[in-house]
Structure 1
Amino acid sequence: MSLTGPEPTLRTRPLHGRIALVTGAATGIGAEIARALAAAGAAVAVSHLAQPRDADTVLRSLAGDGIAVHGDLTDPDEVIALCDHVRDRLGPVDILVNNAGSYPRVAWPDTDEAAWAYALDVNLTAHYRMCRAVTPSMAERRWGRIITMGSVNALVGRTGLTAYGAAKAGLQGLTRSLARELGPQGVCVNAVLPGAIQVDAENSLPAGHRTAPAEQIRRQCVPRRGRPADIAAAIAFLATPAASFITGQSLHVDGGWLPT
């Protein structure tokens, strides 16, 4: 595909024939991303960590082809095996959505070396590993999309999330730098920064770590809770040919909570 000529504009299934790999796709936002990419025509690999039943549920809800694939993204060998499995079953990855991560709440006095290393490994280094695994084939075929899940916490900071916020800030640097590295090969790299999104996982947070919905809505321009579908829609667009001139960007999907 020419890097100078126009790509097709939006159409009903703009990702037809593309292969997408979504990490952390068995539940929550990741599951909704998988559904949105499948609805746009992509064959989707639903990556998960020890959630086979949830992953199978997502697979049954997809509008197209897909597979479930297990992998521990903190293990470099498992990352390679995961990507090889997707390539063998579906084909080389065209679209990588780095959604998997962890939200460890650790008070600053308790943020020792182990806690710091864990937060950076699952929320930053794992994304690096995935990118390293799929970008050679993207560059060779001169087309690719990498969309990484950031967080507004990288910008606002929050108590108990110092290591998490640092890792998410690092993802923005990774996004910008990879966009420079891979742009000449036709690969676009962007990050999406969700605000407060209503997911089932928030119900497991200790009461002291939750923000009342009314208080969160007050901070936003759009007076409603964010939904996984809001994030999935933004990611699906960034994956399409219509977004071929968008790269190196961090897109806030937060109802206008923070300025860009």
Structure 2
Amino acid sequence: MPGPLNGRTALVTGATGGLGSAITRRLAADGATVALAHLHDDQAAAELATHITDRGGNAIPLAADVREAEAVSTLCHQAHDALGPIDIVVSNAGAYPRRPWTETTPTHWDEALATNLTSHYLLAHKLTPAMAATGWGRIITIGSVLAAAGRHDLTGYISAKAGLEGLTRALARELGPVGITANCIAPGSIRVPAEDTVVDDPEAMTARQLARQCVQRRGRPDDVAAAVVFLATEDAGFITGQTLRVDGGWILA
């Protein structure tokens, strides 16, 4: 498929979720071969891979728990064996556990960091040596504007996302000299189907959100996917260590 990512191979974690599937489809549409990493979502991953291949792209589904070092190692070896060296990693896997601060135990804290921070470290640590050997690579982490805005009942999640921005900046310093850029995308309030299962009054929630934003519409997964593709291209080769907020102007400072 012709596009700015022709000849590149990407690995996307959390590939079957609302953001992940949009990111994966856009990468493939712009020419990348894509490994779709997912957790316990075989049918959705297979359907997404078929959607891409039916349109002339190349994608394979791979199951892995990216919170576990051994599973990440296996995932990366499988992706390499099937598709060749990974040029682009979109570290998107995460979870959004809501729990009051007073009820947040050390176990809950550890789980939030394992899913939303440690998993990103494990993936980058495994994939960047091969990128360095070729002198080219893109690390794109998916954070959240809540790292800047804060919100109740999300202490572990927000702390992890703030740490992810720090990890991304550190990787930019470490890896820039060998041709690898590292950037974080921080989505705002993005409309995804999963929202319907956790929001009691979607219309009221949308009204509150629009009052925070400059752009008067809800964000879409494709908005995030477009930012990912830009950061993955040659055009973004002089951009690293940055957090790009895709939030309709929610956070301006």
1:156 aligns with 2:149: yes
- Match for 1:202 among 195, 201, 204? 195
AA partner of residue 101 (structure 1): G
Task: Return the alpha-carbon distance in structure 2 between the equivalents of residues 94 and 65 of structure 1.
Answer: 15
State the TM-score, normalizing by the size of structure 1: 0.93
Match of 2:177 in 1: 184
What's the Cα RMSD here?
A: 1.4
- Match for 1:65 among 37, 50, 58? 58
Task: Return the alpha-carbon distance in structure 1 between the equivalents of residues 100 and 75 of structure 2.
Answer: 34
Match of 1:224 in 2: 217
AA partner of residue 11 (structure 2): L
Q: Deviations over 1:155-188 (max 9, x none)?
A: 1111000110000000010010100000001000
Match of 1:46 in 2: 36
1:234 aligns with 2:230: no
AA partner of residue 259 (structure 1): L
Structure 2 residues not aligned, in runs of 5+: none
AA partner of residue 13 (structure 2): T
Match of 2:102 in 1: 109
Task: Return the alpha-carbon distance in structure 2 between the equivalents of residues 44 and 149 of structure 1.
Answer: 17
- Match for 1:84 among 55, 58, 77? 77
Check conservation: 2:69, 2:122, Cα contact below 8 A: yes
Task: Return the alpha-carbon distance in structure 1 between the equivalents of residues 204 and 118 of structure 2.
Answer: 29
The Cα of 1:150 is off from its aligned counterpart by: 0.5
1:136 aligns with 2:129: yes
SS at match of 2:97: coil
Q: Deviations over 1:114-170 (max 9, x none)?
A: 000000000000000000110000001000000000001111111000110000000
SS at match of 1:46: strand
- Match for 2:3 among 3, 7, 13? 13
Task: Return the alpha-carbon distance in structure 2 between the equivalents of residues 223 and 143 of structure 1.
Answer: 38
In structure 2, the CA distance between the partners of 1:210 and 1:22, relative to structure 1 (3 Å rule), is farther
Task: Return the alpha-carbon distance in structure 2 between the equivalents of residues 210 and 254 of structure 1.
Answer: 18
Check conservation: 2:196, 2:202, Cα contact below 8 A: no
In structure 2, the CA distance between the partners of 1:168 and 1:117, relative to structure 1 (3 Å rule), is same
1:55 aligns with 2:48: no
- Match for 2:247 among 251, 254, 257? 254
The Cα of 1:14 is off from its aligned counterpart by: 1.1
Q: Which runs of at least 4 in structure 1 moved beyond 3 Å after TM superposition?
A: 208-211
Match of 1:215 in 2: 208
The Cα of 1:211 is off from its aligned counterpart by: 6.1
Task: Return the alpha-carbon distance in structure 1 between the equivalents of residues 197 and 213 of structure 2.
Answer: 24
The Cα of 1:75 is off from its aligned counterpart by: 1.2
- Match for 1:174 among 156, 167, 186? 167
Check conservation: 1:27, 1:55, Cα contact below 8 A: no
Structure 1 residues not aligned, in runs of 5+: 1-11
Check conservation: 2:18, 2:193, Cα contact below 8 A: yes
